[in-house]
Amino acid sequence: MKSKSGAKKRFKLTGTGRIKRKHAYKSHILTKKTTKRKRNLTHSTLVHKADEKNVKEMLQL
């Protein structure tokens, strides 16, 4: 089966097998968001344990 192409672009696998993702809400309407909030959205984070199974299915892992 094919992987979901949208998921391929959004997620990366870490060395320990967890899934990295970027934060949402950093693409537009940035004028009303504080500098601190925008800066904190820059850093990547991990997919929550509850969602990992679904993401791995989308990536065919």
Q: What is the CATH number of the domain that holds 51?
A: 4.10.410.60
- Could you tell me the CA-to-CA distances from 27 to 18, 22, 51 in Å, in that order? 25, 11, 23
Task: Give how many domains the chain has, as a whole number.
Answer: 1
Q: In angstroms, rounded to a whole number, what is the distance separating the alpha carbons of residues 1 and 14?
A: 23
Q: What is the pLDDT of residue 41?
A: 97
pLDDT digits (tens, 9 = 90+) for 14-39: 999 999 999 999 999 999 999 999 99
Q: What is the mean pLDDT of the chain?
A: 96
- Domain containing 18: what range? 5-59
